[in-house]
Structure 1
Amino acid sequence: MSDPAAISRQLPRGRHGLPRETVIASQRDRILSAMAQAMTENGYIGTSVAAIIKRAGVSRETFYEQFRSKEDCFEAAYERAAHLLQERIVEATGTLPDAATREQRIEAMLGAYLGGLAADPADARLFLIEVYAVGPEAIARRGELQESFAVMVAQILDAHTAEQHFACQTLVAAISAMVTARVAADDPDGLQALREPLLQLLRRSGDLFGSPEQITPH
């Protein structure tokens, strides 16, 4: 997710011989990271383009070469944060053996999701909280991503019926509400602490969310 240190890693001044696409990608990455970091202090409404470019170490001209507006920049930062979090989950679950149990799959997914949010508070705040200040399109996009997460959970829990899919949607909505509260309180330990109670809930759920495969404590 966002890397505060990357903001300060500017390209060498003068004739560095780097391809233009490398320069543009570096500038874009610094701008997106700078936006996430700036919003931890002043929120979306209180974060100006001037504050973003100062933190990113780029010119106003460079900013507007890449983004139409502050909202456009936020949308790009949001998509990057979502992509990196999804990549983390896919990597964690994709390395499991084919014979992995449902508990192993859900443990890997929850660990990657909660761990990713705790490891990057700036992107977590952007992803879960500041999005509500941007406008209806950003909020709608958040809803789409939450639904894609519900689909992933339904697959892991082997949901087949409409009732089980709805239960998975409800589970994801509850997790979203709980993690948002902890991100707002700047409580990374509280985020990580959600993992075991959620697993205990699934152990007691029977076939509520999907296949009644026995989930047992380690």
Structure 2
Amino acid sequence: MTESASSARQLPRGRHGLPRAEVIASQRERILSAMADAMAENGYVGTSVAAILKRAGVSRETFYEQFRSKEDCFEAAYQRAVELLIANIANAVDGPESDAWDNDSSDPDRMGRILEAYFEGLIAEPAYARLYLVEVYAVGSKAVARRAQMQESFVALIADILDARTEQQRFACQTLAAAVSAMVTAHIAVDDLAGLRALREPLLDLVRRSGDLYGDAVSRQSEVRA
């Protein structure tokens, strides 16, 4: 498994004169990346604090200055994974459109950009993706509940993009988000990143053929094109 691309650089050896806050931030980032990389290879249960320390290049004292336990470290790494995904999706929604995205600015086409950003964000950080989607279920009910909350945020985003107005449309958006999550998790679990990327087009095609199942945006766009 490729190490997380977001791994912080190692601090220079000896007296470097860096501010204490910068040192702490660098150590924290290295610990979180080490946690994700170690779990990608050995799973949450098989990952020890000692293994994290070895990868991060920090002392046990440094680890426990920042985290109460392995679970506490996992929660921080999980939050980091969420931040990376949110930033990627935000750039897709608010930033300049890529040539690979649809040029139409209507809501269903924004769905395509968001799916692309979601998948590419996971592919760019496979260790964090595995932590976020797979290993979270080994940690306990608190972590799983947090994962469910994040999925509801994704549901709200889909509902807003597709203009879901009724309870039935909202429920359809929930089923779509659950299906995306299940399929993505299956591909991440077996390191099938090419298969993950290939999900975008059939999922987008499903939404475009859905009429007003998920919301009014698709049918409204069809009327304009007709």
Residue by residue over 1:140-198, the C-alpha shift from the partner in whole angstroms, topping out at 9 and shown as x without a partner, is: 00000000010011111111111111110110000000000000111000000000000
Using the alignment, how far apart are the partners of 1:77 and 1:160 within structure 2? Answer: 35
Using the alignment, how far apart are the partners of 1:6 and 1:115 within structure 2? Answer: 18
Residue of structure 2 equivalent to 1:178? 183
**Aligned alpha-carbon RMSD (Å):** 1.8
Indicate conservation of the 8 Å contact 2:4/2:36, yes or no. Answer: no
Residue of structure 1 equivalent to 2:7? 6
Using the alignment, how far apart are the partners of 1:5 and 1:202 within structure 2? Answer: 33
Indicate conservation of the 8 Å contact 1:4/1:34, yes or no. Answer: no
Deviation at 1:96, TM superposition (A): 5.8
2:30 maps to a residue whose letter is R
Deviation at 1:10, TM superposition (A): 1.3
Using the alignment, how far apart are the partners of 1:121 and 1:96 within structure 2? Answer: 25
Deviation at 1:103, TM superposition (A): 2.8
Structure 1: stretches of 5+ with no match in the other structure: none
2:221 maps to a residue whose letter is Q
Deviation at 1:79, TM superposition (A): 0.6
Structure 2: stretches of 5+ with no match in the other structure: 98-103
1:206 maps to a residue whose letter is G
Using the alignment, how far apart are the partners of 2:178 and 2:24 within structure 1? Answer: 37
**TM-score, normalisation: structure 2:** 0.90
Identity of aligned residues (%): 64
2:211 to 202, 206, 212: 206
Residue of structure 1 equivalent to 2:110? 105
Residue of structure 1 equivalent to 2:164? 159
Using the alignment, how far apart are the partners of 2:113 and 2:96 within structure 1? Answer: 8
1:67 maps to a residue whose letter is F
Tell me the secondary structure at the aligned position of residue 124 of structure 1. helix
User: Aligned pair 1:57/2:57, yes or no?
Assistant: yes
User: Aligned pair 1:133/2:138, yes or no?
Assistant: yes
Indicate conservation of the 8 Å contact 1:35/1:52, yes or no. Answer: yes
Indicate conservation of the 8 Å contact 2:112/2:204, yes or no. Answer: yes
Indicate conservation of the 8 Å contact 1:179/1:191, yes or no. Answer: yes
Indicate conservation of the 8 Å contact 1:96/1:105, yes or no. Answer: no
Indicate conservation of the 8 Å contact 1:78/1:127, yes or no. Answer: yes
